[in-house]
């Protein structure tokens, strides 16, 4: 075969061309290199300004200039303040970017910067991608997930949320919240998994798995955030951001464990808390952020500030005389990213130039930030592909999961004379209450959704009853100012119906003008907010059976309701399909199996009521005219069927270093199929320091058909028997332990020798 000379040289020329091409590309842009290597190479290229820029976060333009069309236009053309910041490499992250269109604009500007470093787009997707301006799936808020006691559901929700985030260009969610709530007046209780350390750890970990998968290098994974570090759930008066005065023992026993476990399992971000702890604001807590988190626990990811909390070191906490000193304290304490806005950049630059912040501290922060951008493949894939957005958001399987999660989160608190489930062909039904036909069921960190995407309680009930049922609805659009005409009308309509359904509770929907709780809206009472109790009394006065459905994030401690309602369904904030799930429970299409993830005090004066209290908590002091027991205890929840427990196998003794295994047979002895969650508690009978009366150490939710039994095997790890001795050292002490099941009388003694 004969080739021309030039043809012969062609491959070599081509090779040389590619060689020149790739040599002209900065080495950190070579995707064949490892993220570690690329990070190292990029850091070598970066100026001080470019490094500090990576630590600076800004709010998206559309959010900032909602009403300023000129500004928006400028920005789309690559002009204006935000655009300049991005192009000059002075920012590395964004929050509150409402749509994928803006994500693409931001990323395009970032590609025009000298080093072309992509931006991390962050959001609070805590129960679905709720802050996105579009059709995303809204799931029950975390308190409802906790009530479901179902880590698989939590993991799946986090995974589907990650999918909806990535397809719209978001990389980082500020979830899960593993704050332990001791003061349930905290308006953010619905964002948490409740009062128990073990439950929060298991569910937080499940969500971490769903968000980050096995390592943040796939396009369906997002960075998770363990927040808030630490102790926001026990702040003074239950007020968001107020001081937490708390012993080192309680921090270690109750508040730290979920964070430690999530860090052990690779969570890539931790957010500092608004509040101070024992006199030191969380954002200036070097002992916790650096010494404990980074050095002792080996956390290698990003510590992020909470919203404007660095500035608050000066303006609120008064531990810094100005914002520059505040920035100094925060960065030296271990904060890697500033949320959000101008000022921080200039302060840090000055502080480094003055030699007060060492370059090594900046490098440490920037390394963690750019590493993850490489690992997530953002240098290669930074843009949203518009075609995939609509086919991924609110997919059928996401909606099916939203319904299943809502069903599983329902807790039946009271069911006098087996009033529930109702017959679908009931003759007449009266429905009212402020949460009967609104979007309070979406919870906080969610925008209002188009009506057609949300099934309200009223709609769910309408879909469930037969067309023979006469359904009367009285709209009540607020939580207060119910006049006597309304109360009279309600009583009259209730008296004409066979049964009334009253939908009450709280409203934490982010931008709703009727909000009663949520972030920065805490509760001075645990009674029903506003005038709702009067509404309940008016319906009760009809003399007809009263069913109450509660939609709320934080528990409602209403003794009147507990005594006077015939049935109470605690629905939490069940999400966009919550109305259907509630109707399914009311009419028996779904047998409720959720349990309380938090104890409900009888009133705010009964705080604290958490179940894992110390032996002396209630031994002498009594309340005048009231009992100290909680209104609804942790772990409580009724079913339309009955379950019996039996230990089938358990040891009586074990070694001090042993894990302990046993099996429990659960029988559905009623007439309906249903779910049961077996809760396993441990009591250390005699210990060198005081131990809680009991603590949750394992749980399992199972579905059992009527008349059938299932056996569950449990295994407690040796460290679950530990306590912190008088020197705060973990030890397992010999002696008697009791292992008990739920609120049953089934228990056994185990001697550790």
Query: In the bound complex, what is the minimum distance in angstroms from residue 358's beta carbon to ligand BGC?
Result: 29
* Residue found by looking up tokens 């009530």 in the block: 147
Q: What is the DSSP string of 718-745?
A: GGGG-EE-TTS-EEPPPEEEEEEETTSS
Distance CA(279)–CA(275), nearest Å, equals 10
Residue closest to ligand BGC (Cβ): 174
The contact mask relative to ligand BGC for 263-282 (x = CB under 6 A, - = no) is -----------x--------
Q: What is the DSSP string of 241-309?
A: T--B---HHHIIIIIHHHHHHHHHTT--EEEE-SSEETTEEGGG-HIIIIIIIIIIS---SEEE--TTH
Task: State residue 377 phi and psi, 5-degree precision.
Answer: 75, 25
Q: Does 174 bind ligand BGC (CB under 6 A)?
A: yes
For ligand BGC, the closer of residues 253 and 519 by Cβ is: 519
Distance CA(293)–CA(324), nearest Å, equals 24
Cα 437 versus chain centre, distance: 25
| DSSP three-state, residue 713 | strand
Query: In the bound complex, what is the minimum distance in angstroms from residue 179's beta carbon to ligand BGC?
Result: 9
For ligand BGC, the closer of residues 226 and 440 by Cβ is: 226
For ligand BGC, the closer of residues 271 and 378 by Cβ is: 271
Query: In the bound complex, what is the minimum distance in angstroms from residue 274's beta carbon to ligand BGC?
Result: 6
Residues 505-564 touching ligand BGC, rule: CB under 6 A, are: 519
For ligand BGC, the closer of residues 139 and 374 by Cβ is: 139
For ligand BGC, the closer of residues 227 and 544 by Cβ is: 227
Query: In the bound complex, what is the minimum distance in angstroms from residue 519's beta carbon to ligand BGC?
Result: 6
Distances 732 to 673, 736, 741, 752 between C-alpha atoms, Å: 41, 11, 22, 9
Q: Work out which of 76, 250, 286, 307 binds ligand BGC, going by CB under 6 A.
A: 307
Query: In the bound complex, what is the minimum distance in angstroms from residue 667's beta carbon to ligand BGC?
Result: 43
* Residue found by looking up tokens 């009591």 in the block: 683
Residues 209-228 touching ligand BGC, rule: CB under 6 A, are: 227
Distances 330 to 255, 409, 662 between C-alpha atoms, Å: 22, 39, 48
Query: In the bound complex, what is the minimum distance in angstroms from residue 99's beta carbon to ligand BGC?
Result: 17
Task: Enter the tokens of residue 212.
Answer: 């980050």
Query: In the bound complex, what is the minimum distance in angstroms from residue 239's beta carbon to ligand BGC?
Result: 13
For ligand BGC, the closer of residues 274 and 602 by Cβ is: 274
Q: Does 242 bind ligand BGC (CB under 6 A)?
A: no
Query: In the bound complex, what is the minimum distance in angstroms from residue 242's beta carbon to ligand BGC?
Result: 13
| DSSP three-state, residue 655 | coil
Question: Are the beta carbons of 596 and 634 closer than 8 angstroms?
Answer: yes
Residues in contact with ligand BGC, total (CB under 6 A)? 7
For ligand BGC, the closer of residues 179 and 404 by Cβ is: 179
Residues in contact with 53: Cβ distance below 8 Å, sequence separation at least 6, in sequence order: 85, 88, 89, 90, 91, 92, 345
Distances 481 to 357, 439, 489, 505, 528 between C-alpha atoms, Å: 56, 20, 15, 15, 14
Helices 532-540 and 484-496: angle between axes, nearest 10 degrees: 40
Q: Count CB-CB contacts under 10 A for residue 385.
A: 11
For ligand BGC, the closer of residues 305 and 500 by Cβ is: 305
> Which residues are bridge partners to 703 per DSSP?
675
Q: Work out which of 164, 306, 506, 584 binds ligand BGC, going by CB under 6 A.
A: 306
On the 0-12 / 13-18 / 19+ scale of CB atoms within 10 A, 135 is middle
Query: In the bound complex, what is the minimum distance in angstroms from residue 175's beta carbon to ligand BGC?
Result: 8
Cis peptide before 340 (omega within 30 of 0): yes
For ligand BGC, the closer of residues 307 and 647 by Cβ is: 307
Residues 71-130 touching ligand BGC, rule: CB under 6 A, are: 124
Query: In the bound complex, what is the minimum distance in angstroms from residue 235's beta carbon to ligand BGC?
Result: 12
Query: In the bound complex, what is the minimum distance in angstroms from residue 711's beta carbon to ligand BGC?
Result: 42
- Residue 744 backbone zone (phi > 0: left; psi -120 to 50: alpha; other: beta): beta
For ligand BGC, the closer of residues 200 and 641 by Cβ is: 200
For ligand BGC, the closer of residues 188 and 367 by Cβ is: 188
Q: Does 63 bind ligand BGC (CB under 6 A)?
A: no
Query: In the bound complex, what is the minimum distance in angstroms from residue 161's beta carbon to ligand BGC?
Result: 15
Task: Enter the tokens of residue 393.
Answer: 């958001």
For ligand BGC, the closer of residues 174 and 288 by Cβ is: 174
Q: How does strand 269-272 pair with strand 302-304? A: parallel
Provide the edge-to-edge strand list for the sheet that holds 470-474.
411-415, 567-570, 546-551, 499-505, 428-432, 470-474
Task: Enter the tokens of residue 339.
Answer: 């949320």
For ligand BGC, the closer of residues 174 and 255 by Cβ is: 174
For ligand BGC, the closer of residues 179 and 196 by Cβ is: 179
Query: In the bound complex, what is the minimum distance in angstroms from residue 124's beta carbon to ligand BGC?
Result: 5
Query: In the bound complex, what is the minimum distance in angstroms from residue 50's beta carbon to ligand BGC?
Result: 25
Distance CA(565)–CA(555), nearest Å, equals 17
Q: Site residues (CB under 6 A) for ligand BGC?
A: 124, 174, 227, 274, 306-307, 519
């Amino acid at each position: 075969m004969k080739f021309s000379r030039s043809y012969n040289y062609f491959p070599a020329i081509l090779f040389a061309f590619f060689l020149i091409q790739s040599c002209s590309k900065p080495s950190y842009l070579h995707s064949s290199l490892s993220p570690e290597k690329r990070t190292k190479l990029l850091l070598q290229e970066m100026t001080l300004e470019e490094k500090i820029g990576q630590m600076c976060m800004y709010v998206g333009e559309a959010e900032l200039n909602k009403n300023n069309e000129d500004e928006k236009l400028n920005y789309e053309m690559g002009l204006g303040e935000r655009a300049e910041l991005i192009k000059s490499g002075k920012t590395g992250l964004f929050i509150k970017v409402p749509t994928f269109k803006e994500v693409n604009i931001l990323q395009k500007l970032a590609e025009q910067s000298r080093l072309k470093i992509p931006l991390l787009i962050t959001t609070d997707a805590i129960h679905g991608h709720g802050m996105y301006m579009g059709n995303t799936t809204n799931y029950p808020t975390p308190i409802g997930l906790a009530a479901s006691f179902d880590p698989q559901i939590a993991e799946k929700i986090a995974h589907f949320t990650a999918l909806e985030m990535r397809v719209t260009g978001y990389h980082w969610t500020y979830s899960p919240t593993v704050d332990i709530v001791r003061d349930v007046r905290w308006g953010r209780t619905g964002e948490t998994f409740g009062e128990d350390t073990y439950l929060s750890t298991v569910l937080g970990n499940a969500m971490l798995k769903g968000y980050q998968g096995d390592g943040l290098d796939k396009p369906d994974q997002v960075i998770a955030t363990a927040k808030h570090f630490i102790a926001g759930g026990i702040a003074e008066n239950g007020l968001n951001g107020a001081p937490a005065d708390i012993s080192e023992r309680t921090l270690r026993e109750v508040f730290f464990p979920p964070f430690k476990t999530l860090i052990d399992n690779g969570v890539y971000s931790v957010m500092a808390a608004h509040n101070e702890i024992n006199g030191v604001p969380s954002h200036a807590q070097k002992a916790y952020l650096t010494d404990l988190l980074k050095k002792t626990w080996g956390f290698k990811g990003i510590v992020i500030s909470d919203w404007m909390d660095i500035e608050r070191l000066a303006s609120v906490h008064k531990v810094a005389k100005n914002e520059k000193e505040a920035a100094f304290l925060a960065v030296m304490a271990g904060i890697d990213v500033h949320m959000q806005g101008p000022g921080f950049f200039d302060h840090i630059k000055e502080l480094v130039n003055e030699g007060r912040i060492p370059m090594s501290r900046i490098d440490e922060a920037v390394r963690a930030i750019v590493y993850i951008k490489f690992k997530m493949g953002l240098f290669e894939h930074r843009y949203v592909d518009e075609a995939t957005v609509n086919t991924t958001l609110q997919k059928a399987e996401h909606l099916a999961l939203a319904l299943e999660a809502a069903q599983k989160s329902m807790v039946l608190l009271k069911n006098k004379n087996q009033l529930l489930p109702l017959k679908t062909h009931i003759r007449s039904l009266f429905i009212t209450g402020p949460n009967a036909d609104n979007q309070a069921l979406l919870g906080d960190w969610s925008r209002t959704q188009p009506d057609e995407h949300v099934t309200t309680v009223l709609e769910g009930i309408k879909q469930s009853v037969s067309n023979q049922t006469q359904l009367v609805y009285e709209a009540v659009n607020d939580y207060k100012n119910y006049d006597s005409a309304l109360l009279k009308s309600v009583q009259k309509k209730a008296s004409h119906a066979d049964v009334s359904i009253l939908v009450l509770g709280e409203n934490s929907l982010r931008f709703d003008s009727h909000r009663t709780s949520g972030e920065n809206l805490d509760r001075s009472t645990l009674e029903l907010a506003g005038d709702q109790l009067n509404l309940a009394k008016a319906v009760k006065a009809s003399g007809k059976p009263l069913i109450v459905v509660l939609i709320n994030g934080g528990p409602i401690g209403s003794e009147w309701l507990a005594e006077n309602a015939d049935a109470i369904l605690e629905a939490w904030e069940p999400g966009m399909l919550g109305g259907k799930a509630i109707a399914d429970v009311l009419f028996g299409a779904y047998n409720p199996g959720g349990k309380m993830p938090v104890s409900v005090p009888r009133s705010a004066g009964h705080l604290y009521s958490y179940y894992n209290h110390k032996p002396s908590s209630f031994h002498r002091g009594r309340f005048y005219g009231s009992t100290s027991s909680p209104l609804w205890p942790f772990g409580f929840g009724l079913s339309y069927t009955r379950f019996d427990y039996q230990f089938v196998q358990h040891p009586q003794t074990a070694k001090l270093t042993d894990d302990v295994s046993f099996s429990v047979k659960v029988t559905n002895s009623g007439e309906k199929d249903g779910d049961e969650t077996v809760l396993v508690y441990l009591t250390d009978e005699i210990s060198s320091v005081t131990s809680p009366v009991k603590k949750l150490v394992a749980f399992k939710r199972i579905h059992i058909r009527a008349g059938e039994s299932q056996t569950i095997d449990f295994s407690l790890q040796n460290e679950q028997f530990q306590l912190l001795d008088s020197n705060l050292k973990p030890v397992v002490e010999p002696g008697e332990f009791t292992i008990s099941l739920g609120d049953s009388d089934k228990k056994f003694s185990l001697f550790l020798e």
